[in-house]
Chains A and B, each alone.
Chain A
Amino acid sequence: MVSVKFDYRIICDNNFLKWLSKYPNKNRLISHLMHIKISSLDHRKEHNIILESEAKKAIENRIFKNKQAIGTCFKIIEDPEFLNSHKDETTKTIFYAIFLANSKPYRTYIFTADDKITEYKKNPHYNNLKSVTVKSGEDAIRILESYYLDFTREREFQREYKKK
C-alpha cells in the first residue's frame, strides 16, 4: 500500500481555490492535491483540509461548481464551535491550522493567494508561530510538486517490492 509521510498537513482558504481555478496548469495541481490527500500515512484521504465556510465562499463565487469538486482535493470540515467567536476568515484558518498541528505531523501549511499573505502574517495569532506556515503561489506549487514526487517515489518502491 502506498502511504507517504508528509512533513506538513495542508489547509487552504477560498483565496487559494480562486488562484488555483485560474492557474494555467490547474489540472496538474489538482491531480497532485488528490494524490497527497488520499495517500497520507498520518491522515489517509484527509490530509488536505478546507473549512466548510471557506468552501461555501468558493461555491458562491462560482470558483468551484460544488462541494464534490472541492472534496476531491480537500476534505471539507464543518467549522467547529470553537471558531464561532471569530468572524475574520484569516483568524479562523489560522486557529484551525494550529488545531491541526496538535496531531501528526505537528506542522501545517496554510495555502492562500499571494495578495493575502501579508494579511496572515500581520494577524496577531500568526505571530511567533512555528508549527504553522502560510504559503502561496510558486511556493505552494513547489510544495505540491515535492510532495507528489514523494508519492511517486514511494509508489515505485512499493511496486518493485511487490514484484519480489
Chain B
Amino acid sequence: MTEIKDEEIKSVDKDGKIKFVEFELVEDLQDFIAASSDVQIEEDLKGEINKIILGTLVKVEMEIGSPTKIISVKEVDEDLIAREIN
C-alpha cells in the first residue's frame, strides 16, 4: 500500500520556518498585506501584486516564522495547473 505522505500545504525547512502555498484572489492577498502587522514583503513584489487586476487567482508562497514573509506570487493559469497540480 502506498504510504501517504502528509504533504499538505506546508513544509518545514532546516531553520524551522514553515512554508505555505495558498491559492486565493489577489484582492484577498492585498487586504492581508494592508491589514497585517506581521507581514514582510519586498517593495518590488508588493508593486507587482498591486498591478494584478481584481479577481485574478494567484498562487502565493509564504514563509511563516517571525514575521510572515511573502516569497512569491504567480498568476494561476492552466499551464501552472498542469505543472504544479497534476
Closest to A1 in B: B27
Q: Which one, A28, A69, A154, A162, contacts B86 given CB within 8 A?
A: A69
Cα distance A32–B31 in the bound complex, in angstroms: 23
User: For the complex, is B76 an interface residue (Cβ under 8 Å from A)?
Assistant: yes
B54 pairs with A68, CB closer than 8 A: no
Q: Which one, A28, A30, A38, contacts B25 given CB within 8 A?
A: A38
User: For the complex, is A35 an interface residue (Cβ under 8 Å from B)?
Assistant: yes
- Given A27-B81, A31-B76, A69-B86, verify A158-B25 contact (CB < 8 Å): no
Q: Which one, A2, A60, A65, contacts B27 given CB within 8 A?
A: A2
User: For the complex, is A72 an interface residue (Cβ under 8 Å from B)?
Assistant: yes
- Given A31-B81, A69-B85, A155-B55, verify A59-B4 contact (CB < 8 Å): yes
Inter-chain contact total with CB atoms closer than 8 Å: 74
A30 pairs with B85, CB closer than 8 A: yes
A68 pairs with B55, CB closer than 8 A: no
User: For the complex, is A71 an interface residue (Cβ under 8 Å from B)?
Assistant: yes
- Given A2-B27, A72-B23, A159-B55, verify A67-B2 contact (CB < 8 Å): no
Cα distance A109–B2 in the bound complex, in angstroms: 30
The interface residues of chain A lying within 8 Å CB-to-CB of B35 are none
User: For the complex, is B42 an interface residue (Cβ under 8 Å from A)?
Assistant: no
Which of A68, A69, A158: most chain B Cβ within 10 A? A68
